[in-house]
Amino acid sequence: MNLHTPLPSRLPAEQLAALRAQVAQVQAVRGPVLPFGVPDIDSRLFAGGLDGAALHEIAGASASWSDDAAATLFAAGLAARFAAGPGMTVLWALSRFDLYAPGLEQIGLGPDKVLYAQGAKDAEVLALAEDGLRDGSLACVIAEVRAADQTATRRLQLAASDGRTPMLLYRRHRSRERSPLAQPSAAMTRWSIGTAPSTPLPHAGVGRGQWAIELVRQRGGNPFSFCVEACDDQGCLALPAAVADRATTTVGAAIRAA
């Protein structure tokens, strides 16, 4: 083709039909999308929410206990919403059982909703998660690991797609210097979660917890960051009132806890 020949402004009918067929095929494979219910967040996600047949990664913004707890509850809140229907169960695979069950129940993930599986090392945890995904009967699978190479994440992504089940991979910190999200991955989205100061109350007491969430990477979209109110008893996030009432200015740079 001559480089100076102008391209047609409209695709031929047969090419347009082929593209529409490809889009329909992708949509048929994609699992149900779980929106956050926060328009400022959902509008910035490529799928309008989290793909329910894909791998999503979560890590604490730092190795501190507070950021670790925030990241754990963020994952649990998502799982609670994926498992909101009757008879829906979440598989939580891990190598060390250090979860606080009452805390999970406070955000909607009660003991009747969770099956726990323990492996001696990361490889066993990843294998348990993959088996759970391929079964196809679970509402969601969560796995906690300290290391997962790109091959492992590709296997999880394929298993999530085959089983049409969402996979939440919680990457625990191995050191205080490097973020677990620095490792390459096949995940659809990668989230960094940290704590942020809560909104002051007009009276003595502790306000609703706040998190600094950063979408470090997403396929088909741009990264962004927000300060949000922590999960409620249904696993839902919310924007702080001061932010919801004005144009959001936190998109772009990462938000870090003070």
- Tokens 């509850």 label which residue? 73
Predicted confidence at residue 57, as pLDDT, reads 98
Please provide the DSSP assignment of 82-120 as one string.
Answer: HT-STT--EEEEESS----HHHHHHTT--GGGEEEEE-S
Walk along the chain (258 residues) and give the pLDDT tens digit of each residue: 444 444 344 557 776 666 555 544 444 444 689 999 999 999 999 999 999 999 999 999 999 999 999 999 999 999 999 999 888 999 999 999 889 999 999 999 999 999 999 999 999 999 999 999 999 999 999 999 999 999 999 999 999 999 999 999 999 998 766 889 998 999 999 999 999 988 776 776 666 789 999 999 999 999 999 999 999 999 999 999 765 444 443 444 333 332
Predicted confidence at residue 21, as pLDDT, reads 57
CATH assignment, 32-190: 3.40.50.300
Q: Distance between the two ends of the chain, CA-based, in angstroms?
A: 58
pTM of the model: 0.81
Predicted confidence at residue 137, as pLDDT, reads 94
Predicted confidence at residue 85, as pLDDT, reads 85
Predicted confidence at residue 252, as pLDDT, reads 40
Would you kindly state where each structural domain of the chain is located, as residue ranges? 32-190
Alpha-carbon torsion 195, 32, 180, 118, what sign? positive
- Cβ atoms within 10 Å of 118's Cβ, excluding its own: 13
Predicted confidence at residue 10, as pLDDT, reads 56
CB of 194 closer than 8 Å to CB of 99: no
What's the CA gap between 14 and 16, in Å, rounded?
A: 5
Beta-bridge partners for 94:
118
CB under 8 A, 24+ apart: contacts of 156-159: 156/55, 156/126, 156/129, 156/130, 156/186, 157/54, 157/55, 157/186, 157/187, 157/188, 159/129, 159/130, 159/133, 159/134
Predicted confidence at residue 258, as pLDDT, reads 28
- What is the number of residues in the chain? 258
